[in-house]
Amino acid sequence: MGAFFTRFIQEHFDPAGRLERYTYTYDDNFNYGYDVVDQLGALYPDRPAMLWRNDQGAARTLTFGEVARLSTQAAVLFQKRGLKKGDVLLCALRSHWEFWIAAVAAHKLGLILAPVYYRLTEEDFYYRLHKAKVKAVLCCREGGCAEALGAAADRAGVPLRFALGGGDGFEDFHAALQGQPETMARVETQAEEPILLYFTSGTTGEPKGVLHDHAYLLANHCGAAYMQDTHDGSRHFATGDSGWEVVAGTKFYCQWLHLGTLLVYDYDRFPAQQVLEFLQEVRATGVMAQPTVYRMLTDVGLDRYDLSSVSCFAVGGEKLPPDLAEIVEGQTGQPLYEGYAQSEAGLIAANSKNMGRKKGSVGKILPKYHVELLKDDGSFAAPGEEGEIVLLAQNGKRPVGLTMGYLDDPEGTQAIWNGEIFHTGDLAVKDEDDFLYYRGRSDGMIKSKGYRVSPVELEGILCQHPAVAECLVEGIPDRELGEKIVASVKVARGHLPTAELAEELMAFHNGQCAGFKKIRGITFVNALARNANGKLVRQRRS
C-alpha cells in the first residue's frame, strides 16, 4: 500500500528523480473533513496530529482521532445552531488549536470558512461581515478581538457568535462542544464548490475576498512535500496567524495528508527564545517562517540550540535579504529554501532539495501550474527577459489550486482570470532552468527617467552593505526624473545613522547600478512599517 496521499495525488518523476508533474484523483464530492481527517482518525487514532504550545505556558497534544471526533462534534453544534451548506463562518482565532477543529467542522458541513486576523478594527471586521454576508463568528479573547468583533456583529446583524470563553453576547465554544454527538451523517458537497474565503489587500480599494474550492486543499501538496520537506513522521513548524492564507499551505492540509505532525506556537509577539526551546524539545524536522521571524531567531542564535533534527529551513512571505540567508546558513549549516506564492494561487515556485536551489531566485516553477512570463507586447518572455508571472489554463479549465475568483466581484475576477490567463501582477525574470527571479509588483514599480525600476532589486543591493539591517526603497514624484528613488534604512547593530553613513551607502549602491537606478536620498528609521502578516508596507509618497 502506498503513502496515504497517493489516494488523491500521483507523482511523476524524471530520470534524475526530480518531480516532473503530478496528477489528481478524487471523487466529485471530495471533502477533506470526511475523506482525509476522518480516514486518518480511523487509521491512526493515536498518532499526534498537532503539538500545540502558547506563550503563557499552556500545552495541548491532539491526535488524529481527537481531531476527527472534535471536528464532528463542532459540526453537529454548528448544524444545531442553524448553519447549513453555503453559509459563511468567520473565524478570528489567532493560532489557537481550536481553529483547526472549527475549520474541519466547517468543511464537513460545506460552510465557507472565512479566517481573519484577530487584531482587526471594528470597521475592518464590519466590512468583512457585511461583504461576505456572514452567518456566524468564532473568535478568541486576546487583543480586544471579541469586543471589536462583537460591536461589528451588532452592526452587521450577525446573531450567532461563539468565543473561546463566553459572555458579552458570545456562546462559550468549549462548553457548547461538551456532550455533542461524535457521529453525523455526511453532508454532500462538491469538490468545485467554495470552501475558503480569504481577504487580501488590493492595490486600490477595499480588501478583496478570495474564494477557494475543496480541491484547492490538495494543491498544497507540492510545496509541503518538496519545499517544506513534510512526510510521514515529520514534525513541521510554521509561523503565521490563522487569518492568513499561508496557514493553508504551511501548517494544515497537506502536512496532515502526509501524516506529519503540526508544531503550532500561539503568541501575540513572536517569542524567539521560547520557540527555539520548543523546536529543540519536540525535535522539529522542518521550519517555515518569514524573513522577519528568521531575523529574530538569528538574533537569539539558532546555533545556541540543538536543531540537528531539522532537515529543512524554508522562508517566504517577502523578499529574502541576502545577508539573512548567509546568517541562517552560518548558524545552521543549512541553506534557506525560498519560495513565491499568492493568496489566489498558493505556492507557485520554490527552491527545494528535490528541484534545486539558486542564489537570488525565489525558486523553480512548480509542476502544479503552467507558468509563463507575459511581456507588454503580449508575447511570452524568453529566458533572461522580464515579464509578468501568469498562469495558463490547463486543458481549457481553471487549474486545480487557482482561486475561483473574488467574492461578488465579477469585474475584479475578470481582470485577473479571463478563462485562459491568470494575472499575478508580479514581475520576474526566469532562466533557462525555469528558476524565477522576482522583480516586484507591476503596479509597484518605480518609473525613473522613463525606465521601470524594481524596488526589491535595489533593496537587495543596499542590504549587502554591513551597516544595513533592513531597507525600503520607494519612488517620489520628481519633475525631471518622473520619480526620484529614495530609501528608508534601519541600520545594523554597531553602526550610527549619520550623514556620513548616508553618503557612504548611496555611493556603495550607486556604484553598482545604472544611472536610472541611482538612489537620490536616504532616511534613517528605527523600524520599517509592516502589515499584520509581516510584509513591508509600500506606499507611494508625495
The full DSSP string for 253-306 is HHHHHTTPEEEEEE-SS--HHHHHHHHHHHT--EEEE-HHHHHHHHHH-GGGS-
- Per-residue model confidence (pLDDT) at position 2: 73
Alpha-carbon distance of 287 to 332, in angstroms, equals 12
Grid look-up 478524487 returns 26
Of the pLDDT bands very low, low, confident and very high (cuts 50, 70, 90), residue 542 is very low
Give which of 228, 442, 263, 447 is closest to 339, Cα–Cα: 228
Alpha-carbon distance of 240 to 292, in angstroms, equals 12
Cell numbers placing 367:
509542476
How many H-runs (helices) and E-runs (strands) does the chain carry?
A: 16, 28
- How does DSSP classify residue 235? E
Return the minimum-mean-pLDDT range out of 198-202, 229-233, 432-436: 198-202
Grid look-up 489554463 returns 393
Tell me if the pTM is above 0.75: yes
Long-range CB contacts for residues 281-284, cutoff 8 Å, separation at least 24? 282/51, 282/235, 283/235, 283/309, 284/235, 284/236, 284/237, 284/309, 284/310
Alpha-carbon distance of 47 to 232, in angstroms, equals 11
- Per-residue model confidence (pLDDT) at position 201: 64
Q: How many CB atoms lie within 10 A of CB 93?
A: 27
**534 pLDDT above the threshold of 80:** no
Q: In angstroms, how far is CA 117 from the centroid of its own chain?
A: 13
Alpha-carbon distance of 332 to 301, in angstroms, equals 9
Cβ distance 171 to 159 under 8 Å? no
Which run of H or of E encompasses 392? strand 386-392
Cβ distance 241 to 251 under 8 Å? no
Tell me: the pLDDT tens digits for 472-520? 999 888 766 778 999 999 999 999 999 999 999 999 999 887 777 899 9
Of the pLDDT bands very low, low, confident and very high (cuts 50, 70, 90), residue 522 is very high
Cβ distance 220 to 259 under 8 Å? no
Grid look-up 490547463 returns 394
Cβ distance 351 to 339 under 8 Å? yes
Grid look-up 522576482 returns 438
Tell me: the pLDDT tens digits for 418-455? 999 999 999 999 999 999 999 877 767 787 866 668 78
For residue 138, what are the CA distances in angstroms to 53, 101, 112, 164, 467?
A: 20, 12, 13, 8, 45
